[in-house]
Amino acid sequence: MSLEDDIKAECRLFAIEWAISQLLASGFAVAGNPNGPLAFDLYRKMALQHARQQTYPRLGAAMSDLASAEKEAAIDCLLGYAKDFLDDMLRPDGAAPAPKAAP
């Protein structure tokens, strides 16, 4: 792949992550749970714990650890975006959120 193809693929991946994060945050926001952010934090902790404990026996120990760590990092990033969106959706003042820098 060329550098241009790599950039296009990364941008597509970011757009998908953004859309999924928006949908996840919207689901928590409209669920009607007044503890939406707390429920989301619990959900995030459980998802990260599961990713951390996931093993891939066919890959061998070192590669299994690497795959688990990469999966955990990806989930943490995705749910981090969703948490930011959820916080913005639930702002009591309705003010526009401050722009966030891309990682």
Count of domains for the chain: 1
Taking the complete model, does pTM exceed 0.75, yes or no? no
For 61-68, what is the mean pLDDT?
92
Residue 42 lies in a domain: yes
pLDDT digits 0-9 by tens, 93-103: 755 555 555 55
Residue 58 lies in a domain: yes
Contact 33, 93 (CB under 8 A): no
pLDDT digits 0-9 by tens, 10-54: 999 999 999 999 998 888 877 766 666 778 888 899 999 999 888
Residue 98 lies in a domain: no
For 54-74, what is the mean pLDDT?
91
Query: What is the domain range of residue 53?
Result: 3-89
DSSP code of 59?
G
Q: Which two tokens stand for residue 66?
A: 């690497």
C-alpha–C-alpha distance, residues 55 and 37, integer Å: 29
For 50-61, what is the mean pLDDT?
90
Residue that the structure tokens 């650890």 belong to:
65
